[in-house]
A and B are shown apart, each in its own frame.
Chain A
């Protein structure tokens, strides 16, 4: 499947669309005043998880598109992969950042608790997200290989 150029392109787009905005929102990548990547030792594991989630999303989502388009399978698994990506994307968005500030300024304390939850449970949430993406990868790969063997 990844020998097909459009799927590699989609995978690349998904990786970039996940990695760059999430790195900015999680304050690993700064573009102003200088373009700089800054990963401190305390947050190295979190950065590794962010890269892993971006990579797994870039693998799993095109696999499911292939599965749905080529093998005419159900759309359930792509829902799982999107859910995994969304959990991974929302975890770790810094409550001190502009998004957190806007949410807290607009919606008050309850929103503050929600954004604090996403910030302070960043690693468990990203692990759940990665687990979900790995599960979807496993079931999708199995589904594709069985179908290919039968065909």
Chain B
């Protein structure tokens, strides 16, 4: 009998913990939603981020905080990004800036540095694309090790001496660290996290590999 009571109590305890945990998470989200969303654009420092994809004069800025080894970023890249580019970036309504939040492993940091070495040769977005195209397996499993990063650069017909010198010097280590700090400062606690900034400085933040419809609704409400 005592054993039955213990099992029943344990079971209801688990159910209560799950309900309490979820409620707490849900209410914290509601609280965050109810907070004023207006934040001056100048509060977000994008100077260490990627070059903007799209027109510099676009009224909407989409900031993506991401990690090259993150599986959700991969899904977003392959399922949502291209439609967003077709409908908002190529039409001049929005521009995209990628800010590194490399937390999943050591290869995330070197991959981010490599992307800026590619930027030196005018191939940031091509390198960014190749990283998300060839993402394969768990973090630090070797798909983004130094040899693979070099092979990606070689595939893009970059100057390998220049690329290797850039990587060896770790000249973008501080830039990547600065991006990480900026992401954390902006409250990004997952990758991808997006901040959509309108021309009047209003911002909306959300996380996860969300579908195109969410971006379209958010951007349209801010145009």
- Please list the residues of chain A having a beta carbon within 8 angstroms of any beta carbon in chain B: 13-14, 17-18, 20-21, 24, 27, 30-34, 36, 38, 40, 42-43, 61, 65, 68-69, 72, 75, 78, 82, 94-98, 100-102, 104-105, 109, 112, 116-117, 119-120
C-alpha spacing A65/B10, complex, angstroms: 12
B1-29 residues at the A interface, CB under 8 angstroms: 3-4, 7-8, 11, 14-15, 18-19, 21-22, 25-26, 29
Contact call A96/B15, Cβ cutoff below 8 A: no
A95-B139, A120-B137 given; A36·B213 CB < 8 A: yes
Q: List 28 A-B contacts (CB under 8 A).
A: A21-B18, A24-B25, A27-B72, A30-B208, A32-B32, A32-B33, A32-B207, A33-B204, A33-B206, A33-B217, A36-B213, A61-B11, A65-B8, A68-B4, A69-B4, A69-B8, A75-B4, A95-B70, A95-B139, A96-B73, A96-B191, A97-B72, A97-B190, A100-B190, A104-B103, A112-B104, A117-B138, A119-B138
Contact call A78/B7, Cβ cutoff below 8 A: yes
C-alpha spacing A21/B26, complex, angstroms: 10
Look across to chain B and name the residue whose beta carbon is closest to the beta carbon of A101: B189
Contact call A30/B214, Cβ cutoff below 8 A: yes
Interface of B is mostly: helix
Chain B hits for A24, CB < 8 A: 25
- CB-contact partner of A30 in B7, B32, B70, B210, under 8 A: B210
Chain B residues within 8 Å of chain A by Cβ, number:
44
Contact call A75/B7, Cβ cutoff below 8 A: yes
Q: How far is the CB of A139 from chain B (nearest CB, A)?
A: 17
- Not counting A33-B217, A34-B214, a sample of 8 additional A-B residue pairs whose C-beta atoms are within 8 angstroms of each other reads A17-B18, A32-B33, A38-B210, A95-B139, A96-B104, A101-B103, A101-B189, A101-B191
Chain A hits for B189, CB < 8 A: 98, 101-102
Look across to chain B and name the residue whose beta carbon is closest to the beta carbon of A95: B104
C-alpha spacing A15/B4, complex, angstroms: 23
Contact call A96/B4, Cβ cutoff below 8 A: no
Q: How far is the CB of B207 from chain A (nearest CB, A)?
A: 7
Contact call A36/B214, Cβ cutoff below 8 A: yes
Chain B hits for A97, CB < 8 A: 72, 190, 207-208
Q: How far is the CB of A89 from chain B (nearest CB, A)?
A: 9
C-alpha spacing A67/B149, complex, angstroms: 58
Chain B hits for A116, CB < 8 A: 104-105, 138-139
Look across to chain A and name the residue whose beta carbon is closest to the beta carbon of B212: A38
Contact call B75/A95, Cβ cutoff below 8 A: no
Look across to chain A and name the residue whose beta carbon is closest to the beta carbon of B208: A27
Contact call A119/B71, Cβ cutoff below 8 A: yes
C-alpha spacing A38/B25, complex, angstroms: 20
